[in-house]
A and B are shown apart, each in its own frame.
Chain A
Amino acid sequence: MAEDQGNGLPSALRRRLLMGLAGLPAMALMPRTSFAAAPATAAVNTTGLAVTDTEVTVGVLHSLTGTMAISETGAQQAEKLAIAQINEAGGVLGRKIKVVQEDGASDWPTFAEKAKKLLVNDHCAAVMGCWTSASRKAVLPVFEQYNGLLYYPTFYEGLEQSKNVFYTGQEATQQILASLDWVHKEKGAKSFFFIGSDYIWPRTSNKIARKHVENVLKGTVVGEEYFPLGHTQFNSVINKLKLKKPDVIFTDVVGGSNVAFYKQLKAAGIDLSKQVLLTISVTEDEIDGIGGENIAGAYSCMKYFQSLKNPNNEKFVAAFHKMWGEKTVIGDVTQAAYLGPFLWKMACEKAGSFDVDKVVAASPGLEFKEAPEGYVRIDPNHHLWSKTRVAKALPNGQFEVVYESPELIKPDPFPKGYQ
């Protein structure tokens, strides 16, 4: 337990006195614990991490420059907010978190270089970072080789489970299956058209979605098309949509392509209040670029939306706006990134140690009840149990939640029958 260094003696003294008073019934025991200093550094750190008697070093590794900077800014801000809040509340095992930030520069080899630097040079006890699957794949061997600890915030394709990574976003089955069931039940959807960016996440997600549509919902997939990252010409596929008239357009187009896609969809006269469009790649962050009026009426499925009504989220949104400005929007990944430092703190405290192996061993089963998205729990497979929500995009850039899965959904990164 660390006292506020800056506040000087009086407040510390007052607190001790109060604690002493409160402890009177327990007489001998209470004063011992209240005077006990943080556990000795040698005891909580046996593997040479950067831990001193007062500080523990944690890395933050996101793109601050390059094409991914827009997306990763929110995640990085949320991690800093969480760390600031943890430090305010006394830190982890009596130690304040010191942040070392590195820029991955939207470049996967740079991510690998910086990850290595954070582990080998700075001996970070944990690293919060990465956004794209490509950057995670690039740093993964580094974390495994040097036995580091990464908290990865993005919803992603699954098919991975590393001892050295905790995945605080959803894997594909969590995000997709419940929302497909919902659109099938609520909108009577039978035919689907898949449109995605051409890389591993959309392809894997669509593969899972196709199996679910065909085998479980007994529907049909009438089209499946992919476009290179950064593609901006969607007219040909929009013509196909008009021709095939699918019940649902299911999209996982990412990044800047979204802007072109929704604008061209609107320009082509496809009215999203009549045509059901379900996306798994648009959060409040993307709408910022697309423009609320261009996507209003579309359904997005995520585990978190800024408009969620619960006390945890209201506190989180208020704190985020206070630290980073009223105008910032908070998307799914931003919220998932916010969970990382807290989950790490809880695991350290349960393990009584910063040692990576002990923190990893202590993590399964941990519950975080104060998460803005609501209650979450860490599964032994290093992913989180979470709810899935479907929300309708509003013209003001926010979402209105229309469906929430009744129970937490178990993470299943290697789904049987979907591969």
Chain B
Amino acid sequence: MTRPNPAQTVNDNPFMKPMEWVSLALLAAVIFVVLPMLLDAFRLNLVGKYLTYSFVALGLVICWGFGGILSLGQGVFFGLGGYLMAMYLKLEASSVENTKIQSTPGIPDFMDWNQITALPWFWKPFTSLPFTLIAVIVVPALFAFVIGTAMFRRRVGGTYFAIITQAIAAILTILIVGQQGYTGGINGITDLRTLNGWDIRTDQAHNILYFVNGALLVACILFAQYVKRSKLGRILVAMRDKEDRVRFSGYSVAGFKTFAFCLAAVFAAIGGAMFTLQVGFMSPSFVGIVPSIEMVIYAAVGGRLSLFGAVWGTLLVNWAKTTFSESFPELWLFGLGGLFILVVLAFPNGLAGIYRTYVEPRLTRRAKAPEPAPAALPHAAE
């Protein structure tokens, strides 16, 4: 590959700009080297949990930052991924031997409490790990495809789309809570123990899962970067800024939007599945409106146009949440609220905005590499 000439069009840009490679290296170094060295097993597991949210934030950068589609229901996909994984783990934990005190041994405990005497049909395939792994990707993608097609073909967008995603999050929560015999209800699916015979509760398992999680995250970042750099990514940005023009140029706007939405859903689902594995349970409190909005905040704090910003934003917000709540158990919500207000008022483009405005110009001046203007910033918040 030859060095790019800055004068060339965006089309010929390499996969990543040098500064972006540095960002990636920095992030990878922090995730894979610095944090594991500095933190004990408990804190590292916490960071692992935070990183699972950053999958969602990453999806939001594509869908909201690039595509201009604000989804306030990403918790739905995070939850789907998490629940599908939890179903597999729960079945494995509910062997006849482990559940012999129940009236019907061999089914999950919450089914027994709800007088269900046989495993429901849609639980049955989840005894298979390969099926579960495929389902974690395919089910949320299909669900997003159905929603996306239904909405975008009718040209439902902007605020209306956000409201509808929120309604879907509410509906799914009510469904899960209401059907407790099949879903564990408000308690969620708890007491998960092994993955294909491997105990996921030990510190060693947490460590391994942490690194698997980190590797998946980097893979997702690279894939997102690939999308961003492709023609598709530029169509997304074009759609965000002048949807009609893209449509009149003969592109299927609905198709591209649906794709972005599905991709965000798949990222969220991967995060959800990793969450279940690392935390050891799944509950409807991740599916509803509040967590969904919280996930949008992660992306907003990090900067919704920056893939790396999304990860840093998620880490920062969750670290602040944990630290504030440990130090000031009675006041921490105010501190967190203050942080959000500060970020939104002072730095509308989040951490990435701070970086672009204050840090990058100095670095690039030193490197004497004139950069093309960053891909058009969006209009003020949609």
Real complex partners, A and B? yes
Asked if B49 contacts A137 (CB within 8 A), the reply is no
Q: Which residue of A is nearest B179, CB measured?
A: A198
Interfacial residues of chain A within 77-135, with CB under 8 A of chain B in the complex: 101-103, 105, 107-110, 112-114, 116-117, 120-121, 133-134
Asked if A141 contacts B177 (CB within 8 A), the reply is no
Classify the secondary structure of A's interface with B: helix
A371 part of interface (Cβ distance < 8 Å): no
Contacts of B174 in A (CB 8 A): 228
B5 part of interface (Cβ distance < 8 Å): no
B115, B180, B192, B285: the one contacting A199 at CB < 8 Å is: B180
Asked if A414 contacts B101 (CB within 8 A), the reply is yes
Asked if B330 contacts A199 (CB within 8 A), the reply is no
Among A108, A113, A204, the one with the most B-chain Cβ atoms within 10 Å of its Cβ is A108
Asked if A198 contacts B180 (CB within 8 A), the reply is yes
Asked if A140 contacts B190 (CB within 8 A), the reply is yes
Write the nearest CB–CB distance from B359 to chain A, whole angstroms: 32
Contacts of B49 in A (CB 8 A): 113
A108, A141, A419: the one contacting B187 at CB < 8 Å is: A108
Asked if A105 contacts B325 (CB within 8 A), the reply is yes
Asked if B286 contacts A109 (CB within 8 A), the reply is yes
Contacts of B41 in A (CB 8 A): 120
Write the nearest CB–CB distance from B186 to chain A, whole angstroms: 5
Asked if A204 contacts B113 (CB within 8 A), the reply is yes
CA distance A207 to B112 in the complex (A): 13
Asked if A141 contacts B326 (CB within 8 A), the reply is no
Q: Which residue of A is nearest B281, CB measured?
A: A138
Q: What does the 1/0 interface line of B178-214 toward A look like (CB < 8 Å)?
A: 1010000111101111000000010000000000000
Contacts of A102 in B (CB 8 A): 325-326, 329
CA distance A103 to B330 in the complex (A): 7
Asked if B332 contacts A103 (CB within 8 A), the reply is yes
Asked if B187 contacts A113 (CB within 8 A), the reply is no
B114 part of interface (Cβ distance < 8 Å): yes
Interfacial residues of chain B within 35-51, with CB under 8 A of chain A in the complex: 40-42, 45-46, 49
Asked if B188 contacts A138 (CB within 8 A), the reply is yes
Contacts of A101 in B (CB 8 A): 329
Asked if A228 contacts B178 (CB within 8 A), the reply is yes
User: In the complex, which range does the number of interface residues on chain B fall in?
Assistant: 35 or more
A117, A200, A414, A419: the one contacting B180 at CB < 8 Å is: A200
Asked if A145 contacts B201 (CB within 8 A), the reply is yes
Asked if B114 contacts A203 (CB within 8 A), the reply is yes
A64 part of interface (Cβ distance < 8 Å): yes
Write the nearest CB–CB distance from B94 to chain A, whole angstroms: 14
Q: Which residue of A is nearest B329, CB measured?
A: A103
Interfacial residues of chain B within 89-146, with CB under 8 A of chain A in the complex: 101, 103, 110, 113-115
Contacts of B286 in A (CB 8 A): 109
Contacts of B283 in A (CB 8 A): 108-109, 134, 138
CA distance A116 to B285 in the complex (A): 19
Write the nearest CB–CB distance from A142 to chain B, whole angstroms: 8
Interfacial residues of chain B within 316-374, with CB under 8 A of chain A in the complex: 322, 325-326, 329-330, 332-333
Interfacial residues of chain B within 19-48, with CB under 8 A of chain A in the complex: 40-42, 45-46
Write the nearest CB–CB distance from B291 to chain A, whole angstroms: 9
CA distance A203 to B115 in the complex (A): 10
Contacts of A117 in B (CB 8 A): 42, 326
Contacts of A361 in B (CB 8 A): none
Asked if A137 contacts B177 (CB within 8 A), the reply is no
Asked if A64 contacts B329 (CB within 8 A), the reply is yes
Contacts of A105 in B (CB 8 A): 325
B279 part of interface (Cβ distance < 8 Å): yes
B280 part of interface (Cβ distance < 8 Å): yes
Write the nearest CB–CB distance from B271 to chain A, whole angstroms: 14
CA distance A403 to B116 in the complex (A): 36
Contacts of B191 in A (CB 8 A): 137, 140-141
CA distance A3 to B98 in the complex (A): 49
CA distance A73 to B57 in the complex (A): 34
Contacts of B177 in A (CB 8 A): 198-199, 228-229
Contacts of B326 in A (CB 8 A): 102, 117
A159 part of interface (Cβ distance < 8 Å): yes
Asked if B190 contacts A141 (CB within 8 A), the reply is yes
Asked if A109 contacts B113 (CB within 8 A), the reply is no
Write the nearest CB–CB distance from A38 to chain B, whole angstroms: 29
CA distance A228 to B201 in the complex (A): 33
Asked if A133 contacts B187 (CB within 8 A), the reply is yes
A65 part of interface (Cβ distance < 8 Å): yes
CA distance A199 to B283 in the complex (A): 13
CA distance A348 to B332 in the complex (A): 34
Q: Which residue of B is nearest A106, CB measured?
A: B285
Write the nearest CB–CB distance from A328 to chain B, whole angstroms: 17
Interfacial residues of chain A within 147-187, with CB under 8 A of chain B in the complex: 157, 159
Interfacial residues of chain A within 192-236, with CB under 8 A of chain B in the complex: 198-200, 203-204, 207, 228-229
Asked if B180 contacts A107 (CB within 8 A), the reply is no
Contacts of A157 in B (CB 8 A): 113
Write the nearest CB–CB distance from B341 to chain A, whole angstroms: 18
Write the nearest CB–CB distance from B58 to chain A, whole angstroms: 21
B178, B187, B285: the one contacting A137 at CB < 8 Å is: B187
Contacts of A419 in B (CB 8 A): 103
Asked if B281 contacts A113 (CB within 8 A), the reply is no
Q: What does the 1/0 interface line of A52-66 toward B look like (CB < 8 Å)?
A: 000000000000110
B42, B114, B188, B201: the one contacting A134 at CB < 8 Å is: B188
Contacts of B322 in A (CB 8 A): 113
Q: Which residue of A is nearest B286, CB measured?
A: A109
Contacts of B281 in A (CB 8 A): 108-109, 112, 138, 141
CA distance A107 to B333 in the complex (A): 13
CA distance A376 to B326 in the complex (A): 34
Sorted nearest first, the 9 A-B pairs with minimum C-beta distance are A103-B329, A120-B42, A134-B187, A137-B190, A137-B187, A199-B186, A141-B191, A108-B283, A101-B329
9 CB contacts below 8 A, A to B, read A109-B285, A112-B279, A113-B46, A113-B279, A137-B188, A140-B190, A141-B193, A200-B110, A200-B186
Residues of B participating in the A interface, judged by any CB pair closer than 8 Å: 40-42, 45-46, 49, 101, 103, 110, 113-115, 174, 177-178, 180, 185-188, 190-193, 201, 279-281, 283, 285-286, 322, 325-326, 329-330, 332-333
Residues of A participating in the B interface, judged by any CB pair closer than 8 Å: 64-65, 101-103, 105, 107-110, 112-114, 116-117, 120-121, 133-134, 137-138, 140-141, 145, 157, 159, 198-200, 203-204, 207, 228-229, 414, 419
Known A112-B279, A138-B188, A199-B180; further 12 A-B contacts with Cβ < 8 A: A65-B330, A103-B330, A107-B285, A112-B281, A117-B42, A120-B42, A140-B190, A140-B191, A145-B201, A198-B180, A199-B177, A203-B113
